[in-house]
Amino acid sequence: MIKAGIIGGTGYTGGELIRLLLNHPNAELSFVTSYSNVGKKVTDLHQDLIGEIDLEFIDNSTDADVLFLALPHKESKIWLENNNVGNAVVIDLGNDFRIGETYQGNSFVYGLPELNSAQLKGAKLIANPGCFATAIQLGIIPILQNQEVSEIYTTGITGATGAGKSLSETTHFSWRQNNISAYKTLTHQHLGEINFQLKELSKVPFSVQFVPWRGDFARGIFVSSTFKTSLSLEELFELYENFYKGQMFTTVSRKEINLKQVVNTNKCLINIEKNGDFAVVHSAIDNLLKGASGQAIHNMNISFGFPENAGLKLKSIAF
């Protein structure tokens, strides 16, 4: 058993990490920190865990074999500068180290297992990908590696949990109910992450033009990426199926996919359609699991040599 600690465990991703670690066969959750909630029970904030955990929030600690940084963006770097993590594995769920930033001269491994599994084995510093970045990249990596694709047009819709727990006008139920809207059109922060991670993978310079949408549901991401290709639909399916063959969590479906198939799981489901010269790759994930905490646990499993699906045998919600 390894000891796990969560730095900043009050948000949605922190709550999911707690749930996953409590049920992990190879890890024991030792502590959860929160500067503003010291002494409060974890279940005061994560009420779905009542009866499952007796821990209270503490102000800080580094006494663990693996540390999950579930802090607001840009705070992980500050925390690391002020704490000695020793030999612990650090998995950062923020965006501080996703595009080449270093810590004490060392680079973080980008934690997209379908792309960097070999580098993640034994890795001490891991940058967990963003949720939209995960869904988009898993939909386009196979084609970028094998064909000259220069322009990709992507739309994606995400649930309200993608905005975090902090309240704003667009996260209130009265605003979200029966409503959708575009936001950060062509400027979403995950574009930098995607372009940085895939620039050396692509056969030619490429750009992703991305329009994200807010959805009127709680969790999940559904992305559609469009590009030109001379490959037939059958050739595309074979390309994607061969690329993801043997992957634990990413599956290519020849049937239409929907969000409920992946919510509450660490899965990414992919489907492809084609009309004339244009192909559309659909990819669906749970933004809090495959897009955040589930992927972080997957990265931990690979780093420590545990079975990749340890603690992640989760079932989607059927109805």
Which sequence positions are flagged as catalytic?
131
CB 190 within 8 A of CB 130: yes
Strand order in the sheet with 66-69: 27-32, 2-7, 66-69, 89-92, 125-127, 109-110
Sign, Cα dihedral of 138, 279, 156, 188? positive
CA distances (Å), origin 137, targets 42, 91, 94, 182, 283: 34, 20, 18, 20, 9
What distance in Å separates the CA atoms of residue 195 and residue 190, rounded to the nearest whole number?
9
User: For the purposes of burial, counting CB atoms within 10 Å of the CB of 54, is it exposed (0-12), middle (13-18) or buried (19 or more)?
Assistant: exposed
What distance in Å separates the CA atoms of residue 182 and residue 160, rounded to the nearest whole number?
13
User: What is the DSSP code (8-state) at residue 218?
Assistant: S
Strands 125-127 and 89-92, bridge-based pairing: parallel
Which of helix, strand or coil describes residue 83? coil
How many distinct helices (H) and strands (E) make up the chain? 9, 15
